[in-house]
Amino acid sequence: MSRFVETLYDSYGQEFEFDEIYFERKTDHQQLTIFHNPVFGRVMVLDGVVQTTERDEFIYHEMLAHVPILAHGGVTSVLVVGGGDGAIIREITRHQAIRQITQVEIDATVIEMSRQHLPNHSAGAFDDPRLEIVIGDGLEFLQGQGERYDLIICDSTDPIGPGESLFDHAFYSAVHSRLARGGVFVAQNGVPFHQLDELQSTYRHLSGLFGDACFYSAAVPSYIGGIMAFAWASDDPGLRKLSEASLRERYRAAALACRYYNPAIHLASFSLPEYLLQALQEG
Amino acid sequence: MKGQLLSFPSSTEGRLAQIHGTPLLLLDCQRLRQQYRALAQALPGVDLHYALKALPEQAVVNTLAPLGAGFDIASSGELDLLRQAHVKPRRVIHSHPVKKSREISEALRFGCTSFVFDNRVELEKFQRYRHRIGLVLRIGFRSPSASVDLSRKFGCSLGEVPNLLRQAHDLGLRVKGLAFHVGSQCATPDAHVHAIRETLRLVRELKASGMARIGLLDIGGGFPVDYGGGVPDIAGFCAPIRAALAEAPAHLRLIAEPGRVLVAPAVRGLFSVVGCARREGRPWYYLDDGVYGSFSGRVFEGARYRLRSLRQGPLTASVLAGPTCDSIDVIAEGVMLPELQVGDLLVADMLGTYSAASATNFNSLPKTPLLPLDDAKENSVVL
């Protein structure tokens, strides 16, 4: 019986007992570990930080996919930056109206090893004919020539390591230029109780570029320290002012059966606690 | 000199030289374990972090890690050795007070969250990582008795401490510990004892004034080994240090960063005579390794190496020189040796520290290989 100690913080942290290691190696970009924990199931770790677990990934992925898709209401093309475990693709492919999904992942090994050792994450979504996978740098891809997307999702690591360029002005600016009219951008933005700097920095960038920038949240147990923030940016402020009734209609039409997401949670998740609102004001 | 008939093939050294060729460094893993255990016993309650820079070799890490050793790193290059051995990142401290910002993120990505600093400019590099790390402030205490005084280049003065703590606080950084490193190969523990007393006093003062809550004291290294001049044994050297540490508050985690004391006695080198000459009435023997290689400590810390021949015979004051074309490549002068011939084997003891680690490839000579010997393991070379 061994233990993995997450080293996200110096003076505080979480540890996982593991009874099996499926993969542990340095890829071309990062140290990748996948092990099994009795409570969380299979756990993926990059550079010492927990990225996703079988037991609680539904919270993160349902919120990162369905909130923008249902708020927009007419998404046909999606760009995913990161998301190599495949679960975000799984949630997106559940929407039949979406015609085209492009995924840009920098680390091919993460996709390969997730297909092999985290099969429930992608649940076959990597074989969906609507999906095109590009192995490459997200920032470079966005800065290149190409089409615009109704929705851009950034499902990345924290901004230390390969995800670093996905948190600066050049990236957000490229995102803005590659969004279709009325499009929306969402991104994982860390646990703000501990990573307030990141929340403030993202907010500064996004509010300067988009007509509407904010965050919504969900508590994901394996991301320790409270609620996780998802960045939200669009030039259409109306997208997050829908009534619960119209969200309910879209949810029904999409025929989704979710375990975390529902229209009431959708609306409530945009309400932030006072300490975060103040931080954004001061930021 | 692989394959060539050596003068003393019946000895252990001769057999190894014949199998593996020379120059060759031999790591005695059992001796390494003994050194670690002796120091751990001499400093109960102190977590030992092996200073990887002394001999950054996988076999050393692999031998020490299972004993519960921690590690002190000075650069990102050392991280892969730790990864290979599955060293727990919480057991690792980055102890170089000055580094590139990239070094910080690379260490963090390994999982090391403890970093040493000693100046204001360095603090700014840490700001963007502030929610992930804990800092250790290095204070300089000069050590007159050390063979290498490490407090000239690094370490703030006691007087600078309050300002640096304030600046760290203003940048949102947590200073969790204090460190000192009085020097290398200290002749007496006096400097350690003095530095421990001063830092413990500081810990109490900082607590009383509310300036900082110090939870870690890193007493560095400097534990001496016997190169022939005679030094106290590990237990004797550490007794006054242990007594001084007895005054530490119970919550204070104590760590030390030994390098030399662990690895120096665990490595010996096998070298061959490749040339002989008589100059100014003295015999000169040219070896297949020199001060640009495994004897680099001659240059970097004035090390004096003791080399012995396995041959018997009347002794003459001789000169031992290295293989490069440079005239400073002289390993030792006035060494009492019997008359040697090309192909003769020489053995140098106490070669574990800052020998292979600081070797160059001057003259395009390859680095001397290090062969781990471990009686405790079946699948390794057994003498």
Tell me if A9 and B111 make a contact (CB, 8 A cut-off). Answer: no
Both tokens assigned to B365: 């000579």
Burial A204-223 (b: 16+ CB within 10 A, else e): ebbeebbebbbbbbbebebb
Any catalytic annotation for residue B112? no
Arithmetic mean of pLDDT, B30-53: 98
Is the model's pLDDT at B151 over the cut of 80? no
What ipTM was estimated for this complex?
Answer: 0.88
SS3 B78: helix
Of the candidates B172, B181, B179, the one whose C-alpha atom is nearest the C-alpha of residue B203 is B179
Query: Which residues have C-beta within 8 Å of that of residue A142, sequence separation ≥ 6?
Result: A79, A81, A152, A171, A174, A175, A177, A178
Arithmetic mean of pLDDT, B327-352: 92
Residues A192-216: pLDDT tens digits? Answer: 999 999 999 999 999 999 999 999 9
Asked whether the CA dihedral B322, B327, B332, B335 is positive or negative, the reply is positive
| Confidence label for B149 from pLDDT (cuts 50, 70 and 90) | low
Q: Is A119 on the interface with B (CB under 8 A)?
A: no
In chain B, what percentage of residues exceed pLDDT 70? 93
Of the candidates A176, A183, A149, A127, the one whose C-alpha atom is nearest the C-alpha of residue A77 is A149
| Residue in chain B lying closest to A157 (CA) | B109
* CA-based nearest distance B75→chain A, Å: 17
Give the CATH class of B12-26+268-373: mainly beta
- Strand B316-321 and strand B282-287: pairing? parallel
Contact B238, B43 (CB under 8 A): yes
Tell me if B113 and A194 make a contact (CB, 8 A cut-off). Answer: no
Give the CATH class of A2-51: mainly beta
Tell me if B133 and A10 make a contact (CB, 8 A cut-off). Answer: yes
Tell me if A7 and B83 make a contact (CB, 8 A cut-off). Answer: no
pLDDT recorded at residue B297? 85
* CA-based nearest distance A45→chain B, Å: 11
User: Comparing A230 with B4, which gets the higher pLDDT?
Assistant: A230
Residues B284-308: pLDDT tens digits? Answer: 999 999 999 999 988 787 778 888 9
Domain ranges of chain B: 12-26+268-373, 56-258
A5 vs B83, B88, B133: nearest CB: B88
The whole-angstrom separation of Cα A114 and Cα A108 is 10
pLDDT beneath 70, residues of chain A? 1
Is the model's pLDDT at B3 over the cut of 50? no
pLDDT recorded at residue B377? 61
| Residue in chain A lying closest to B128 (CA) | A197
The whole-angstrom separation of Cα A223 and Cα A24 is 21
B109 vs A5, A161, A194: nearest CB: A161
Arithmetic mean of pLDDT, B95-115: 95
- Which residue of A3, A5, A7 to mutate against B (max B Cβ within 10 Å)? A7
pLDDT recorded at residue B382? 40
**B56-258 belongs to CATH 3.40.190.10:** no
Residues B184-232: pLDDT tens digits? Answer: 899 999 999 999 999 999 999 999 999 999 999 999 999 999 988 788 9
Both tokens assigned to B298: 């001659």
CATH superfamily of A57-282: Vaccinia Virus protein VP39 (3.40.50.150)
From A85, A150, A155, A158, active-site residue: A155
* CA-based nearest distance B105→chain A, Å: 6
Query: Which residues have C-beta within 8 Å of that of residue A71, sequence separation ≥ 6?
Result: A184, A239, A240, A242, A247, A266
Is the model's pLDDT at B381 over the cut of 60? no
pLDDT recorded at residue B376? 67
A197 chain-B contacts, CB cut-off 8 A: 128, 130-131
- Which residue of B82, B83, B109, B216 to mutate against A (max A Cβ within 10 Å)? B109
DSSP H stretches of helix in A80-162: 87-93, 108-117, 119-122, 138-143
Domain ranges of chain A: 2-51, 57-282
